[in-house]
Protein backbone atom coordinates (compact mmCIF):
# COMPACT_ATOMS: atom_id res chain seq x y z
CA UNK A 1 0.00 0.00 0.00
CA UNK A 2 1.26 3.46 -0.89
CA UNK A 3 2.31 5.80 1.91
CA UNK A 4 -0.19 8.67 1.59
CA UNK A 5 1.76 10.78 4.09
CA UNK A 6 4.42 11.22 1.38
CA UNK A 7 1.80 11.86 -1.31
CA UNK A 8 -0.54 14.21 0.62
CA UNK A 9 1.21 16.93 2.62
CA UNK A 10 -0.06 20.01 4.49
CA UNK A 11 -0.15 23.10 2.30
CA UNK A 12 1.81 26.19 3.35
CA UNK A 13 3.33 24.33 6.32
CA UNK A 14 6.66 26.15 5.93
CA UNK A 15 4.98 29.57 5.70
CA UNK A 16 2.98 28.85 8.84
CA UNK A 17 6.13 27.67 10.66
CA UNK A 18 7.91 30.88 9.63
CA UNK A 19 4.95 32.95 10.86
CA UNK A 20 5.14 31.24 14.26
CA UNK A 21 8.87 31.92 14.44
CA UNK A 22 8.45 35.62 13.59
CA UNK A 23 5.67 36.04 16.16
CA UNK A 24 7.87 34.48 18.85
CA UNK A 25 10.73 36.74 17.78
CA UNK A 26 8.55 39.85 18.10
CA UNK A 27 7.41 38.85 21.60
CA UNK A 28 11.00 38.24 22.66
CA UNK A 29 12.64 41.24 20.97
CA UNK A 30 10.03 43.67 22.34
CA UNK A 31 10.79 42.68 25.93
CA UNK A 32 14.56 42.79 25.34
CA UNK A 33 14.27 46.23 23.71
CA UNK A 34 12.18 47.62 26.58
CA UNK A 35 14.71 46.41 29.17
CA UNK A 36 17.45 48.16 27.21
CA UNK A 37 15.49 51.39 26.58
CA UNK A 38 14.42 51.73 30.21
CA UNK A 39 17.99 50.88 31.28
CA UNK A 40 16.92 48.04 33.50
CA UNK A 41 18.84 45.03 34.70
CA UNK A 42 17.94 41.76 32.98
CA UNK A 43 16.48 39.58 35.71
CA UNK A 44 16.31 35.75 35.55
CA UNK A 45 12.52 36.00 35.94
CA UNK A 46 12.36 37.65 32.49
CA UNK A 47 13.55 34.41 30.92
CA UNK A 48 10.58 32.60 32.47
CA UNK A 49 8.27 35.44 31.49
CA UNK A 50 9.32 35.11 27.86
CA UNK A 51 9.19 31.33 27.85
CA UNK A 52 5.70 31.20 29.33
CA UNK A 53 4.40 33.94 27.02
CA UNK A 54 5.77 32.30 23.87
CA UNK A 55 4.51 28.85 24.84
CA UNK A 56 1.05 30.16 25.75
CA UNK A 57 0.83 32.27 22.58
CA UNK A 58 1.81 29.29 20.42
CA UNK A 59 -0.73 27.11 22.24
CA UNK A 60 -3.62 29.57 21.90
CA UNK A 61 -2.87 30.39 18.27
CA UNK A 62 -2.85 26.68 17.49
CA UNK A 63 -6.14 26.17 19.35
CA UNK A 64 -7.75 29.07 17.47
CA UNK A 65 -6.20 27.91 14.16
CA UNK A 66 -4.70 31.37 13.60
CA UNK A 67 -1.93 29.99 11.38
CA UNK A 68 -4.18 28.71 8.62
CA UNK A 69 -3.17 29.11 4.99
CA UNK A 70 -3.21 32.86 4.38
CA UNK A 71 -5.45 32.45 1.35
CA UNK A 72 -8.15 30.96 3.56
CA UNK A 73 -9.04 33.70 6.07
CA UNK A 74 -9.50 37.46 5.89
CA UNK A 75 -6.98 39.85 7.39
CA UNK A 76 -9.57 41.11 9.90
CA UNK A 77 -10.21 37.56 11.17
CA UNK A 78 -6.47 36.97 11.53
CA UNK A 79 -5.87 40.24 13.39
CA UNK A 80 -8.77 39.59 15.75
CA UNK A 81 -7.39 36.12 16.50
CA UNK A 82 -3.87 37.45 17.18
CA UNK A 83 -5.17 40.20 19.47
CA UNK A 84 -7.48 37.82 21.35
CA UNK A 85 -4.72 35.28 21.91
CA UNK A 86 -2.39 37.90 23.34
CA UNK A 87 -5.26 39.28 25.44
CA UNK A 88 -5.72 35.87 27.06
CA UNK A 89 -2.02 35.78 27.99
CA UNK A 90 -2.25 39.25 29.54
CA UNK A 91 -5.30 38.13 31.54
CA UNK A 92 -3.39 35.08 32.83
CA UNK A 93 -0.42 37.20 33.97
CA UNK A 94 -2.77 39.72 35.61
CA UNK A 95 -4.53 36.88 37.45
CA UNK A 96 -1.17 35.54 38.67
CA UNK A 97 -0.24 39.03 39.88
CA UNK A 98 -3.58 39.42 41.66
CA UNK A 99 -3.45 36.01 43.38
CA UNK A 100 0.23 35.53 44.24
CA UNK A 101 1.54 39.15 44.40
CA UNK A 102 5.09 38.36 43.22
CA UNK A 103 7.57 40.84 44.67
CA UNK A 104 10.70 42.16 42.91
CA UNK A 105 10.42 39.55 40.16
CA UNK A 106 9.98 42.11 37.40
CA UNK A 107 9.56 45.79 36.70
CA UNK A 108 5.81 46.43 36.46
CA UNK A 109 6.13 49.53 34.29
CA UNK A 110 8.22 47.63 31.75
CA UNK A 111 5.79 44.69 31.70
CA UNK A 112 2.86 47.08 31.16
CA UNK A 113 4.62 48.57 28.12
CA UNK A 114 5.31 45.04 26.90
CA UNK A 115 1.64 44.07 27.23
CA UNK A 116 0.58 47.10 25.17
CA UNK A 117 3.32 47.27 22.50
CA UNK A 118 3.54 43.56 21.64
CA UNK A 119 0.03 43.21 20.11
CA UNK A 120 0.56 46.46 18.18
CA UNK A 121 3.74 45.04 16.64
CA UNK A 122 2.15 41.66 15.96
CA UNK A 123 -0.82 43.29 14.26
CA UNK A 124 1.47 45.58 12.26
CA UNK A 125 3.63 42.83 10.81
CA UNK A 126 0.66 40.60 10.03
CA UNK A 127 -1.09 43.52 8.30
CA UNK A 128 1.96 44.55 6.28
CA UNK A 129 2.66 40.98 5.17
CA UNK A 130 -0.96 40.40 4.17
CA UNK A 131 -1.10 43.66 2.20
CA UNK A 132 2.13 42.80 0.37
CA UNK A 133 0.81 39.33 -0.46
CA UNK A 134 -2.50 40.78 -1.65
CA UNK A 135 -0.71 43.29 -3.90
CA UNK A 136 1.51 40.53 -5.30
CA UNK A 137 -1.37 38.10 -5.84
CA UNK A 138 -3.52 40.73 -7.55
CA UNK A 139 -0.99 41.20 -10.35
CA UNK A 140 -1.55 39.52 -13.70
CA UNK A 141 1.57 37.43 -13.19
CA UNK A 142 0.58 35.79 -9.92
CA UNK A 143 -3.24 35.80 -10.06
CA UNK A 144 -4.57 32.24 -10.28
CA UNK A 145 -7.11 31.67 -13.06
CA UNK A 146 -9.57 29.29 -11.46
CA UNK A 147 -12.23 27.04 -13.00
CA UNK A 148 -14.77 24.78 -11.33
CA UNK A 149 -15.66 21.44 -12.90
CA UNK A 150 -19.14 20.52 -11.74
CA UNK A 151 -22.12 22.90 -11.66
CA UNK A 152 -23.24 21.38 -8.38
CA UNK A 153 -24.40 22.76 -5.05
CA UNK A 154 -20.88 22.18 -3.75
CA UNK A 155 -19.50 24.14 -6.72
CA UNK A 156 -21.82 27.08 -6.05
CA UNK A 157 -20.70 27.18 -2.42
CA UNK A 158 -17.06 27.14 -3.51
CA UNK A 159 -17.58 29.93 -6.04
CA UNK A 160 -19.18 32.17 -3.39
CA UNK A 161 -16.17 31.69 -1.16
CA UNK A 162 -13.72 32.39 -3.98
CA UNK A 163 -15.57 35.57 -4.95
CA UNK A 164 -15.52 36.74 -1.30
CA UNK A 165 -11.72 36.38 -1.05
CA UNK A 166 -10.23 39.21 -3.14
CA UNK A 167 -7.04 39.05 -1.07
CA UNK A 168 -6.40 35.47 -2.19
CA UNK A 169 -5.54 36.39 -5.77
CA UNK A 170 -8.09 34.06 -7.40
CA UNK A 171 -9.60 35.04 -10.75
CA UNK A 172 -12.73 32.95 -11.36
CA UNK A 173 -13.11 31.87 -15.00
CA UNK A 174 -16.36 29.92 -14.77
CA UNK A 175 -17.94 26.47 -14.54
CA UNK A 176 -17.44 23.49 -16.81
CA UNK A 177 -19.91 20.61 -16.87
CA UNK A 178 -20.79 17.76 -19.23
CA UNK A 179 -24.40 17.45 -18.10
CA UNK A 180 -27.27 19.06 -19.94
CA UNK A 181 -28.91 22.10 -18.42
CA UNK A 182 -31.44 20.61 -16.04
CA UNK A 183 -33.07 22.11 -12.98
CA UNK A 184 -32.51 18.86 -11.13
CA UNK A 185 -28.87 18.49 -12.09
CA UNK A 186 -27.39 22.00 -12.21
CA UNK A 187 -27.51 24.64 -9.51
CA UNK A 188 -26.31 27.63 -11.58
CA UNK A 189 -28.87 30.40 -12.00
CA UNK A 190 -26.81 32.23 -14.63
CA UNK A 191 -26.23 29.92 -17.65
CA UNK A 192 -23.51 32.25 -18.98
CA UNK A 193 -21.24 31.04 -16.18
CA UNK A 194 -21.13 27.59 -17.83
CA UNK A 195 -18.13 27.94 -20.13
CA UNK A 196 -18.18 24.48 -21.68
CA UNK A 197 -17.69 20.77 -21.21
CA UNK A 198 -14.78 18.79 -19.80
CA UNK A 199 -13.13 18.79 -23.23
CA UNK A 200 -13.29 22.59 -23.34
CA UNK A 201 -11.79 22.66 -19.86
CA UNK A 202 -8.92 20.37 -20.89
CA UNK A 203 -8.27 22.40 -24.03
CA UNK A 204 -8.06 25.68 -22.10
CA UNK A 205 -5.81 24.03 -19.50
CA UNK A 206 -3.44 22.88 -22.27
CA UNK A 207 -3.31 26.42 -23.65
CA UNK A 208 -2.43 27.78 -20.21
CA UNK A 209 -5.67 29.78 -19.97
CA UNK A 210 -6.51 28.08 -16.66
CA UNK A 211 -4.08 27.57 -13.77
CA UNK A 212 -6.22 25.84 -11.17
CA UNK A 213 -9.20 23.49 -11.36
CA UNK A 214 -11.50 22.56 -8.51
CA UNK A 215 -13.49 19.38 -9.07
CA UNK A 216 -16.86 19.55 -7.30
CA UNK A 217 -18.59 16.42 -8.57
CA UNK A 218 -20.32 14.06 -6.12
CA UNK A 219 -18.41 11.02 -4.84
CA UNK A 220 -20.60 8.79 -7.04
CA UNK A 221 -19.05 10.30 -10.19
CA UNK A 222 -15.78 8.40 -9.71
CA UNK A 223 -15.54 7.28 -13.35
CA UNK A 224 -15.89 10.83 -14.73
CA UNK A 225 -13.42 12.18 -12.19
CA UNK A 226 -10.79 9.58 -13.10
CA UNK A 227 -11.30 10.22 -16.82
CA UNK A 228 -10.85 13.98 -16.32
CA UNK A 229 -7.73 13.56 -14.19
CA UNK A 230 -6.18 11.19 -16.74
CA UNK A 231 -6.55 13.82 -19.43
CA UNK A 232 -5.42 16.68 -17.17
CA UNK A 233 -2.19 14.81 -16.52
CA UNK A 234 -1.19 16.01 -20.00
CA UNK A 235 -1.32 19.63 -18.76
CA UNK A 236 0.48 21.70 -16.11
CA UNK A 237 -2.72 22.73 -14.34
CA UNK A 238 -3.13 22.40 -10.55
CA UNK A 239 -6.13 20.17 -9.78
CA UNK A 240 -7.99 19.97 -6.47
CA UNK A 241 -10.66 17.45 -5.52
CA UNK A 242 -13.35 18.97 -3.30
CA UNK A 243 -14.89 16.36 -1.01
CA UNK A 244 -18.67 16.52 -1.14
CA UNK A 245 -19.01 16.30 2.65
CA UNK A 246 -21.66 19.00 2.87
CA UNK A 247 -24.27 16.47 1.78
CA UNK A 248 -23.72 14.80 5.17
CA UNK A 249 -24.94 16.17 8.48
CA UNK A 250 -21.46 16.94 9.83
CA UNK A 251 -21.01 17.14 13.58
CA UNK A 252 -17.68 18.59 14.72
CA UNK A 253 -15.93 17.24 11.62
CA UNK A 254 -12.14 17.08 11.65
CA UNK A 255 -9.22 15.43 9.88
CA UNK A 256 -7.67 12.28 11.27
CA UNK A 257 -4.30 10.88 10.20
CA UNK A 258 -3.90 7.10 10.55
CA UNK A 259 -0.30 6.24 9.71
CA UNK A 260 -0.33 8.60 6.75
CA UNK A 261 -3.88 7.78 5.62
CA UNK A 262 -6.22 10.81 5.98
CA UNK A 263 -9.78 10.33 7.21
CA UNK A 264 -12.60 12.77 7.92
CA UNK A 265 -14.84 12.36 10.95
CA UNK A 266 -18.52 12.86 10.16
CA UNK A 267 -19.88 12.53 13.71
CA UNK A 268 -17.47 13.32 16.54
CA UNK A 269 -17.51 14.83 20.01
CA UNK A 270 -15.69 18.15 20.50
CA UNK A 271 -14.51 17.00 23.93
CA UNK A 272 -11.41 14.96 23.20
CA UNK A 273 -7.85 15.11 24.54
CA UNK A 274 -6.97 18.48 26.08
CA UNK A 275 -10.44 19.82 25.27
CA UNK A 276 -11.96 17.07 27.42
CA UNK A 277 -9.58 17.86 30.28
CA UNK A 278 -10.17 21.63 30.07
CA UNK A 279 -13.95 21.10 29.95
CA UNK A 280 -13.81 18.86 33.03
CA UNK A 281 -11.62 21.29 35.00
CA UNK A 282 -13.93 24.15 34.04
CA UNK A 283 -16.99 22.18 35.20
CA UNK A 284 -15.51 21.08 38.54
CA UNK A 285 -14.07 24.49 39.48
CA UNK A 286 -17.23 26.38 38.52
CA UNK A 287 -19.50 23.84 40.23
CA UNK A 288 -17.57 24.06 43.52
CA UNK A 289 -17.69 27.87 43.45
CA UNK A 290 -21.40 27.88 42.60
CA UNK A 291 -22.26 25.32 45.29
CA UNK A 292 -20.48 27.46 47.89
CA UNK A 293 -22.60 30.44 46.82
CA UNK A 294 -25.91 28.56 46.73
CA UNK A 295 -25.45 26.34 49.81
CA UNK A 296 -27.71 28.48 52.02
CA UNK A 297 -30.43 28.93 49.34
CA UNK A 298 -30.43 25.16 48.75
CA UNK A 299 -30.95 24.52 52.48
CA UNK A 300 -33.83 26.99 52.44
CA UNK A 301 -35.39 25.28 49.41
CA UNK A 302 -35.03 21.85 51.05
CA UNK A 303 -36.75 23.19 54.17
CA UNK A 304 -39.54 24.70 52.07
CA UNK A 305 -40.18 21.37 50.33
CA UNK A 306 -40.37 19.51 53.65
CA UNK A 307 -42.79 22.07 55.13
CA UNK A 308 -45.14 22.24 52.13
CA UNK A 309 -45.53 18.60 51.07
CA UNK A 310 -44.81 15.05 52.13
CA UNK A 311 -42.03 13.06 50.52
CA UNK A 312 -38.27 13.20 49.89
CA UNK A 313 -36.49 16.46 49.14
CA UNK A 314 -34.49 15.09 46.21
CA UNK A 315 -36.10 13.52 43.15
CA UNK A 316 -34.04 11.15 41.02
CA UNK A 317 -34.90 10.23 37.47
CA UNK A 318 -33.19 7.94 34.97
CA UNK A 319 -32.06 9.84 31.90
CA UNK A 320 -29.56 9.37 29.09
CA UNK A 321 -26.04 10.69 29.52
CA UNK A 322 -23.02 10.77 27.23
CA UNK A 323 -22.96 7.87 24.81
CA UNK A 324 -26.63 7.16 25.51
CA UNK A 325 -25.80 5.53 28.85
CA UNK A 326 -28.49 5.82 31.58
CA UNK A 327 -27.63 8.19 34.44
CA UNK A 328 -29.46 9.26 37.60
CA UNK A 329 -30.23 12.99 37.53
CA UNK A 330 -30.91 14.89 40.76
CA UNK A 331 -33.59 17.56 41.15
CA UNK A 332 -35.53 19.12 44.00
CA UNK A 333 -38.92 17.40 44.22
CA UNK A 334 -41.68 19.65 42.87
CA UNK A 335 -44.59 17.20 42.58
CA UNK A 336 -46.83 15.32 44.94
CA UNK A 337 -46.45 12.17 42.84
CA UNK A 338 -42.97 11.60 41.46
CA UNK A 339 -43.50 8.09 40.12
CA UNK A 340 -44.49 7.03 36.61
CA UNK A 341 -47.35 4.76 35.72
CA UNK A 342 -46.76 1.75 33.48
CA UNK A 343 -43.24 2.96 32.76
CA UNK A 344 -44.59 6.12 31.11
CA UNK A 345 -43.10 9.48 32.08
CA UNK A 346 -45.66 12.24 31.58
CA UNK A 347 -44.27 15.71 30.92
CA UNK A 348 -45.46 18.43 33.28
CA UNK A 349 -48.13 20.66 31.74
CA UNK A 350 -49.25 24.17 32.60
CA UNK A 351 -52.25 22.96 34.61
CA UNK A 352 -50.62 19.83 36.03
CA UNK A 353 -52.28 19.01 39.35
CA UNK A 354 -49.27 17.00 40.54
CA UNK A 355 -47.15 20.14 40.97
CA UNK A 356 -47.16 21.66 44.44
CA UNK A 357 -47.49 25.48 44.82
CA UNK A 358 -43.91 25.71 46.09
CA UNK A 359 -42.80 23.28 43.37
CA UNK A 360 -44.38 25.48 40.70
CA UNK A 361 -42.24 28.38 41.91
CA UNK A 362 -39.11 26.20 41.81
CA UNK A 363 -39.87 25.01 38.27
CA UNK A 364 -40.69 28.50 37.03
CA UNK A 365 -37.34 29.82 38.29
CA UNK A 366 -35.37 26.62 37.47
CA UNK A 367 -34.25 26.41 41.10
CA UNK A 368 -35.30 22.75 41.09
CA UNK A 369 -32.24 22.08 38.90
CA UNK A 370 -29.67 23.21 41.49
CA UNK A 371 -28.85 19.70 42.86
CA UNK A 372 -27.55 18.80 39.40
CA UNK A 373 -24.31 20.58 40.27
CA UNK A 374 -23.57 17.45 42.32
CA UNK A 375 -24.11 15.47 39.09
CA UNK A 376 -21.52 17.72 37.46
CA UNK A 377 -18.95 17.08 40.20
CA UNK A 378 -19.69 13.34 39.94
CA UNK A 379 -18.91 13.52 36.22
CA UNK A 380 -22.28 12.41 34.83
CA UNK A 381 -23.28 15.91 33.70
CA UNK A 382 -21.74 19.20 32.63
CA UNK A 383 -22.78 22.73 33.51
CA UNK A 384 -23.44 23.49 29.84
CA UNK A 385 -24.76 20.94 27.37
CA UNK A 386 -27.98 19.52 25.94
CA UNK A 387 -30.62 19.06 28.63
CA UNK A 388 -31.10 15.38 29.59
CA UNK A 389 -34.46 13.86 28.69
CA UNK A 390 -36.31 11.01 30.36
CA UNK A 391 -35.41 7.61 28.92
CA UNK A 392 -38.94 7.01 27.61
CA UNK A 393 -38.90 10.37 25.82
CA UNK A 394 -35.52 9.54 24.29
CA UNK A 395 -36.81 6.26 22.88
CA UNK A 396 -39.72 8.07 21.25
CA UNK A 397 -37.85 11.06 19.79
CA UNK A 398 -34.86 9.07 18.50
CA UNK A 399 -37.18 7.56 15.86
CA UNK A 400 -39.18 10.75 15.28
CA UNK A 401 -36.33 13.26 14.79
CA UNK A 402 -33.36 12.73 12.47
CA UNK A 403 -30.03 12.98 14.30
CA UNK A 404 -31.66 13.10 17.75
CA UNK A 405 -29.14 10.75 19.41
CA UNK A 406 -26.18 12.86 18.23
CA UNK A 407 -26.90 15.19 21.16
CA UNK A 408 -25.47 12.41 23.34
CA UNK A 409 -21.98 12.87 21.89
CA UNK A 410 -21.41 15.21 24.86
CA UNK A 411 -22.47 15.17 28.51
CA UNK A 412 -25.93 16.57 29.26
CA UNK A 413 -25.95 19.98 30.90
CA UNK A 414 -27.82 22.04 33.47
CA UNK A 415 -28.25 24.79 30.89
CA UNK A 416 -27.60 24.93 27.18
CA UNK A 417 -27.95 26.88 23.97
CA UNK A 418 -31.47 25.55 23.37
CA UNK A 419 -32.62 26.71 26.80
CA UNK A 420 -31.11 30.17 26.32
CA UNK A 421 -32.94 30.38 22.97
CA UNK A 422 -36.24 29.70 24.72
CA UNK A 423 -36.71 25.98 24.06
CA UNK A 424 -37.66 24.96 27.59
CA UNK A 425 -40.55 23.25 29.28
CA UNK A 426 -43.12 20.98 27.72
CA UNK A 427 -42.62 19.85 24.11
CA UNK A 428 -46.18 18.89 23.26
CA UNK A 429 -45.50 19.58 19.57
CA UNK A 430 -42.80 17.80 17.57
CA UNK A 431 -41.63 21.14 16.12
CA UNK A 432 -40.64 22.33 19.59
CA UNK A 433 -38.42 19.33 20.17
CA UNK A 434 -36.95 19.70 16.67
CA UNK A 435 -36.03 23.30 17.54
CA UNK A 436 -34.40 22.13 20.76
CA UNK A 437 -32.36 19.47 18.94
CA UNK A 438 -31.31 22.00 16.29
CA UNK A 439 -29.71 24.23 18.93
CA UNK A 440 -28.25 21.26 20.82
CA UNK A 441 -26.37 20.17 17.69
CA UNK A 442 -25.37 23.75 16.92
CA UNK A 443 -23.81 23.94 20.39
CA UNK A 444 -21.82 20.74 19.77
CA UNK A 445 -20.59 22.01 16.39
CA UNK A 446 -19.43 25.36 17.79
CA UNK A 447 -18.31 24.34 21.28
CA UNK A 448 -15.62 26.27 23.12
CA UNK A 449 -14.97 27.17 26.74
CA UNK A 450 -15.77 30.76 25.82
CA UNK A 451 -19.21 29.65 24.54
CA UNK A 452 -19.79 27.75 27.81
CA UNK A 453 -18.91 30.83 29.85
CA UNK A 454 -21.15 33.04 27.72
CA UNK A 455 -24.12 30.66 28.09
CA UNK A 456 -23.62 30.53 31.88
CA UNK A 457 -23.65 34.34 32.08
CA UNK A 458 -26.75 34.58 29.86
CA UNK A 459 -28.48 31.92 31.98
CA UNK A 460 -27.73 33.85 35.19
CA UNK A 461 -29.30 37.05 33.85
CA UNK A 462 -32.12 35.85 31.60
CA UNK A 463 -32.28 32.08 31.77
CA UNK A 464 -33.74 31.36 35.21
CA UNK A 465 -37.29 32.39 34.43
CA UNK A 466 -39.21 31.40 31.33
CA UNK A 467 -42.90 31.35 30.47
CA UNK A 468 -42.51 27.82 29.05
CA UNK A 469 -41.16 26.39 32.32
CA UNK A 470 -43.90 24.89 34.47
The b/e string for 11-31 (b: 16+ C-beta within 10 A; e otherwise) is eeeeebeebbeebbebbeebb
Contact 61, 67 (CB under 8 A): yes
Residue 455 confidence (pLDDT): 92
Q: What pTM was estimated for this model as a whole?
A: 0.68
Per-domain residue ranges of the chain: 4-137, 144-247, 274-463
Tell me whether strands 261-264 and 255-258 are parallel, antiparallel or unpaired. antiparallel
Angle at the Cα of 336 from the Cα atoms of 331 and 338, rounded to 5 degrees: 50
Q: How far is CA 10 from CA 6, 21, 72, in A?
A: 10, 18, 14
DSSP state of 259: T
Residues 73 and 60: their CA atoms lie apart, in Å, by: 17
CATH superfamily of 144-247: NAD(P)-binding Rossmann-like Domain (3.40.50.720)
Task: Give pLDDT tens digits along the chain (470 positions).
Answer: 455 455 555 555 667 778 888 899 999 999 999 999 988 888 888 898 899 999 998 888 877 777 765 556 667 777 888 888 898 899 888 888 877 776 667 788 888 999 999 999 988 888 887 777 777 766 655 668 899 998 888 888 888 888 877 777 788 899 998 875 444 455 666 777 888 888 999 999 988 889 899 998 887 788 888 989 999 888 888 888 887 776 666 777 676 666 666 677 778 888 887 788 889 999 999 999 999 999 999 999 999 988 888 888 898 888 988 888 889 999 998 887 545 444 455 555 555 667 888 888 888 888 888 999 999 999 999 999 999 988 888 888 888 888 888 899 999 999 999 988 887 766 667 888 888 999 999 999 888 888 998 999 898 877 555 555 54
Residue 341 confidence (pLDDT): 45
Give the CA dihedral 186, 191, 197, 200, nearest 10 degrees. Answer: -150
Amino acid sequence: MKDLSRMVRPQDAKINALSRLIDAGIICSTLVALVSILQLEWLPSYNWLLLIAILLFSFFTECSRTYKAWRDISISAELIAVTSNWGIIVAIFVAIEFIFHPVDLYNREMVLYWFVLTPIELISWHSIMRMLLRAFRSTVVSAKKVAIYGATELGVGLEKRIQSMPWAGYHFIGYFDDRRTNGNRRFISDPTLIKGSSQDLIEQARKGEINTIFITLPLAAEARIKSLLNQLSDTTVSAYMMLDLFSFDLLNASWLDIQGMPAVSIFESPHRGLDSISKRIFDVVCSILILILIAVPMLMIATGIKLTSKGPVIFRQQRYGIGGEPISVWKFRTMICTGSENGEVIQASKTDQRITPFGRFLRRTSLDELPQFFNVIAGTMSIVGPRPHAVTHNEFYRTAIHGYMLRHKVKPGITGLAQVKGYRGQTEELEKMEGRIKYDLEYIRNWSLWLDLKLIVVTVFVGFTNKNAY
